[in-house]
Structure 1
Amino acid sequence: MPVRKARGRLSVLHTPVGGCATALLVLVLALAVLAPLVWGDRASVVDTGALQQGPSGAHPLGTDNLGRDILYRVLVASRLSVELAVLATLIGVAIGTVLGTAPTVLPRWAGRLVTSTVGIAVAFPGLLLALFFAVILGVGAKGAVLAIGLAMAPGFARLAQTLAASVSGRDFVAAARVAGAGRARLLVRHVLPNIAEPLIVNATVGAGMALLAFSGLSFLGLGVQAPDYDWGRLLGEGLNQIYVNPTAALAPGAAVVIVGLAFNLFGETMAAAVGARGRPRSTGAPYPGHAQAPPMDVTGDPVLVVENLRVAFPGTGGWTTPVRGVSFTVGAGESVGVVGESGSGKSLTALAVSQLIERPGVVTADRLEFLGTPLLDTPERQARRLLGTSLAMVFQDPMTSFNPTRRIGRQLAEVAEEHQGLSRGAAHARAVDRLRAVRVPAAARRARQYPHEFSGGMRQRAMIGMGLMGDPRLVVADEPTTALDVTVQRQVLRLLTRVRESDGSALLLISHDITVVAGACQRVLVMYAGRVVEDLPTSDLRSAPRHPYTRALLAAVPALDTDRDAPLAVIPGRPPEPAEVLSGCAFAPRCPFADERCAGADPVLANVGVGDAHRVACWHPRDGAVAAVDDDLPVVELPEVAHE
């Protein structure tokens, strides 16, 4: 852990509350260890001449019905009381963590069963559950420990479920899945380390509640039995002489309150320390444009073949299909860009190709082949190994691309260990080499650092390096430059281009910025409402786009010579929601050329011109180049700004 990060957390302990809570808990633990050794014999001495006496110089808190010193017995009882409370907490945390994370490993039906069971158990009060289990498991310390642990488990299970679900959706988990990690490996290496801190914090607070619950069971006679004793049993015995010697009951009760308060305050202090940890964020501006990428001949068999790809999710009103019949091919060494507005299905298409759509999502296709292997018909283990070694995934947000609890080099090395059978040392050496290949300075030192110690651009480079740990034939980059500033965007795109040219890898670049794909790709797929509406070479993008939507996207991009006093070009309306797509052309409500035919029938993606290099799905394709502001595109007037 970095020194600065550790100092930031320890500073919370220097606050009055943090310091008092820590000192009090240390004192309690020391007392639990030392009290039986120092005063154990004195606490057991029976004095028949001093039965049920009040406080005195010889006995500060008085004596019990056998003449034993109550102060010594309260001090000695601290070990058993704290010991049993901590043991019950550990049982509750262990069972709760297993139940809470089980849905991420089990099949969907089994996971839902576990989740439903936990939900029912959480609805019952914890004390009621503890009494229920105590009666079933029997009277005694063992039964009480198990009863309290089982009663605490549902709460921790619900917490673990929520935390695991939030972590499972992060990009670094998806990256590990692409790398071929199984469900158990994902849970142990990526999910559990990222939910450990809040679980530990809540366990510390829960220990105080367990102490109170255990004392309550012992007070009722269901917990510790004679000749052993804890604070709850001493409280029950002292209650019988409360009118003769009130301190006999008040002393063990005060001990329960003070120690429970120590656990709770320390838990709150730990929560504040965890919450004080900050994370850097990177912001950036949209990329203004690039020089056109040089053309490259596509040779050999296609790397990726997609025909009639559909992705559907169940909803309250039936199935929603955000990706509807997408078809395209990526050749060996080819760079293909996918562009469109948010919600057009770009990222879902990439996730479906990478086999990252989880249930209840359903992926179907007439043909979905990667390196000649039909992914939908291949066993999961075999497909995972193929994708882990031959497909690299670069995600949108570089901050979430890596597991924040593991070092960069270790995360890269995991790919080589999993798929290439390299030893730990050899895999680390390859990780350092791959970091050098993507131009990460001081790669050996950087490999030992955590993701938060990298800048946004360095994290994105390291993410590309992770993809190069194998022998990728296809690099899928999903909005890799969105969160980066303009200079770093150019560096990342140049790096992707260099990887493609040097290693012969194909590139599938997804972006909402049409100028980015125009500068980095040889071919462009324009998507709208879950469909590819135009597939054209980059050389034709500015000179001969045929679909009105493509022309609108291009016209809406301001150029350096754009008249600042002229109104901005906009696309009227908004894209339809996946559940709102009706029959006919989805772009018809926003298209100035739409007619009855457009509203009644959805056009098929068909070839235009000579050859099959340019395809368009439109009943009224346009001709000619696109100006800075297309004559066919509506414009919007901006309000005038008063200058002083």
Structure 2
Amino acid sequence: MAGATARRWVAVLRSPLGILAVVLLTVLLGLTVLAYPLWHARAHTVVPAEILQGPSARHPAGTDLLGRDILARVLVATRLSVGLALAATGIGVAIGLLFGAATALSGKRFGRWIGTLVNIAVAFPNLLLALFFAVIFGVGAKGAVLAIGFATAPGFARLTQTLAAAVSGRDFIAAARIAGVGRVRILFRHVLPNIAEPLVVTATSAAGGALLAFAGLSFLGLGVQAPSYDWGRLLGEGLTQIYIHPAGALAAGLAVVVAALAFNLAGEVAARALSSHDARHGLRRSPASELAPVVPMGEPTVLAVENLSVSFPADEGFVTPVRGVSMTLRRGESVGIVGESGSGKSLTALAIARLVESPGLVRADRLDFLGTDLRAADSRSVRGLLGTSLAMVFQDPMTSLNPIQRIGRQLAEVAERHQRMNRRRAWDRAVERLDAVRIPAAARRARQLPHELSGGMRQRAMIGMGIMAQPSLIIADEPTTALDVTVQRQVLELLAEVRGGNQAALLFISHDITVVAEVCVRVLVMYAGHIVEDLPSAALLHDARHPYTRALAAAVPTMETDRDQPLAVIPGRPADPRRPAAGCPFAPRCPLATEQCHEQNPPLAAYGTAHRVACWHADLAPAVAPVTVSEGDLR
């Protein structure tokens, strides 16, 4: 990886743009260091006999009102001009990062106020803000540095907010929160490193803007004061004699333009080099019967959920996409959740893992994990429990893993934080876990970045992260959706193997009811935020009693499906959580719906042995015929 990065930089630096940027930046920094000792005496020597002379071999840019060499003064001013511009840029970047990260550090309510202030400040041009702050901080170099720094900060803060918001929604941030990582550590370890590249590029370009702004303030008399001088002050002095001695202003103006160009070209080169990233097994087979072992009813309870609801504020009040969900998982048990997109499956899992942030509101009559009430305040003990005993496998491992951290480092963080291992022991543990999930050459793979692994390997690495400790509950949210069928089978077998080894409970979420029927012993069917059926997986495809469950099963093609006939579909549209129906939420789409269904929502009631269903006509469900699309509709 280091070699690939070096090659990218070499390729960019060898381009015409890269060569020009390197030459200009080298000359600029060389003059910053060497110009003062080399030309200081010449720049300050007053020669009355040579006042206001034009360009000559002795004075290439002429002399000023005191007979001093203008070119020497321009060269000597490089140190002060560049130094003050970099100082102002540093202040602007520091303040911008602080305000830009305020949302992540302080919560959304205070963050919104900060965001509003930043948006107001961004609406004003930088130079106008600089003039405003220059009046506040006073005339002089110190006041100008602060003024330009404060004027640069809003744009940098806005960029930081935007980039951080995009990264904060990624699954690897959620995984870090499950592991109990605090806000400050998440910000500096996971968020800022992932947005560092555009921030570095912007900061480099901002230095050129700060140089121009500083020259402008000094030109107006608000910046560097006599006897000190920078390019802006020299430009102002030269403009007083521009009609009789234009070379005096030209030298200082040319220095400002060239220096700003050097910084901007350096930013462009960095942008090209940093934006050219390239994005790029054996498993032991287990019998199908091992994928869903039967769990004795006497096993201890791992998760107990009663009447769980999740709400979000909206214009018309609160919208509740998950309502009244109850479930129990015992040690070693595998429970699946199926349903259409938007039925509340993933949101239920996020609520259990305490990943629903404000303004989302999670309520439950009971939410116990290993005997601990998860409704309690966000205490260190609860974070530690979730970090060591709850493993979450997300749908897309590319967004679940931090793209700029090596795989082994991400796994080792769990052991360092919760098992108090030193870095070396944690790394060894990470390699051991990668080997346990059947990643070949685990020691080498641990040193690679996520994009260097295949999709199947990344998913196995996510499972390896989950078993760094000894999880009692594994929540797998669509873990095989983005994988081909061969790798999908391997991941399912791996989950079964891990669960069997730790006797962990598994909550498996998927759209594919055939996969759920194979992996799980019990299935929860969700519709419109409700659990409408709870049944053994053996009955899912052949003895479901809710019309919605039977419609889901009918919509899955099998080897016996008549290819000459249109595929079965569920008519109508999914329920809108903003407008919950008074009766059964599936009634508008149900072929068995009666007046009672439209007026009364059926409870989730027992139906036979180990079977519950929320339907007034459960006995009639087997008579429901699959709905098909007509040939006219297909046209």
TM-score range, shorter chain: over 0.9
- Is the contact between residue 292 and residue 518 of structure 1 (CA under 8 Å) also seen in structure 2? no
Q: Any stretches of 5+ residues in structure 2 without a counterpart?
A: 281-287
1:211-230 matches, cutoff 5 A: 211-230=211-230
Aligned residue identity for 1:46: V
Report the equivalent of 1:333: 332
Aligned residue identity for 2:27: L
In structure 2, C-alpha distance between the alignment counterparts of 1:475 and 1:192, rounded to whole Å: 29
- Is the contact between residue 545 and residue 622 of structure 1 (CA under 8 Å) also seen in structure 2? no
Change (3 A) 1:416 1:129: same
- Is the contact between residue 290 and residue 518 of structure 1 (CA under 8 Å) also seen in structure 2? no
In structure 1, C-alpha distance between the alignment counterparts of 2:246 and 2:445, rounded to whole Å: 65
Matched, 1:619 2:616: yes
In structure 1, C-alpha distance between the alignment counterparts of 2:173 and 2:555, rounded to whole Å: 36
1:469-484 matches, cutoff 5 A: 469-484=468-483
How far the C-alpha of 1:37 sits from its partner, in A, is 2.4
Paired residue secondary structure (1:303): strand
In structure 1, C-alpha distance between the alignment counterparts of 2:454 and 2:175, rounded to whole Å: 19
Report the equivalent of 1:96: 96
Q: Any stretches of 5+ residues in structure 1 without a counterpart?
A: 281-288
Change (3 A) 1:119 1:624: closer
Report the equivalent of 1:38: 38
Report the equivalent of 2:110: 110
Report the equivalent of 2:168: 168
Aligned residue identity for 1:633: P
Aligned residue identity for 2:507: L
1:415-434 matches, cutoff 5 A: 415-434=414-433
Paired residue secondary structure (1:376): coil
How far the C-alpha of 1:85 sits from its partner, in A, is 0.7
- Is the contact between residue 298 and residue 333 of structure 1 (CA under 8 Å) also seen in structure 2? no
Paired residue secondary structure (1:36): helix
Change (3 A) 1:228 1:309: same
Aligned residue identity for 2:615: C
Aligned residue identity for 1:98: L
1:550-561 matches, cutoff 5 A: 550-561=549-560
CA deviations 1:282-301 (Å, max 9, x no partner) are xxxxxxx9997343324332
In structure 2, C-alpha distance between the alignment counterparts of 1:7 and 1:344, rounded to whole Å: 48
Report the equivalent of 1:66: 66
- Is the contact between residue 290 and residue 515 of structure 1 (CA under 8 Å) also seen in structure 2? no
Aligned residue identity for 1:44: H
Deviates further, 5-14 or 496-505: 5-14
How far the C-alpha of 1:638 sits from its partner, in A, is 5.0
How far the C-alpha of 1:317 sits from its partner, in A, is 1.4
In structure 1, C-alpha distance between the alignment counterparts of 2:558 and 2:62, rounded to whole Å: 90
Matched, 1:532 2:525: no
Matched, 1:353 2:352: yes
In structure 2, C-alpha distance between the alignment counterparts of 1:378 and 1:150, rounded to whole Å: 38
In structure 1, C-alpha distance between the alignment counterparts of 2:632 and 2:73, rounded to whole Å: 81
How far the C-alpha of 1:515 sits from its partner, in A, is 1.0
In structure 2, C-alpha distance between the alignment counterparts of 1:604 and 1:209, rounded to whole Å: 66
Report the equivalent of 1:14: 14
In structure 1, C-alpha distance between the alignment counterparts of 2:577 and 2:6, rounded to whole Å: 47
Paired residue secondary structure (1:222): coil
Report the equivalent of 1:246: 246
In structure 1, C-alpha distance between the alignment counterparts of 2:579 and 2:44, rounded to whole Å: 79
Report the equivalent of 1:515: 514
In structure 1, C-alpha distance between the alignment counterparts of 2:31 and 2:378, rounded to whole Å: 58
- Is the contact between residue 547 and residue 621 of structure 2 (CA under 8 Å) also seen in structure 1? no
How far the C-alpha of 1:22 sits from its partner, in A, is 2.9
In structure 2, C-alpha distance between the alignment counterparts of 1:23 and 1:115, rounded to whole Å: 40
Report the equivalent of 2:603: 604
Matched, 1:190 2:183: no
Report the equivalent of 2:283: none
- Is the contact between residue 9 and residue 277 of structure 1 (CA under 8 Å) also seen in structure 2? no
How far the C-alpha of 1:624 sits from its partner, in A, is 7.8
CA deviations 1:199-223 (Å, max 9, x no partner) are 1111111111100000011111111
Aligned residue identity for 2:618: P
Q: TM-score, normalization: structure 1?
A: 0.95
Change (3 A) 1:60 1:429: same
Report the equivalent of 1:402: 401
Deviates further, 193-202 or 41-50: 41-50
Change (3 A) 1:98 1:292: closer
How far the C-alpha of 1:5 sits from its partner, in A, is 4.0
Aligned residue identity for 1:458: M
In structure 1, C-alpha distance between the alignment counterparts of 2:217 and 2:258, rounded to whole Å: 18
Aligned residue identity for 2:612: R
Instruction: Give the percent of matched residue pairs that are identical in Structure 1 and Structure 2.
Output: 64
In structure 2, C-alpha distance between the alignment counterparts of 1:169 and 1:640, rounded to whole Å: 39
Matched, 1:636 2:633: no
Aligned residue identity for 1:595: T
- Is the contact between residue 568 and residue 638 of structure 1 (CA under 8 Å) also seen in structure 2? no
Report the equivalent of 1:51: 51
Paired residue secondary structure (2:398): coil
Report the equivalent of 2:411: 412
Report the equivalent of 1:283: none
Report the equivalent of 1:273: 273
Report the equivalent of 1:156: 156
Aligned residue identity for 2:428: A
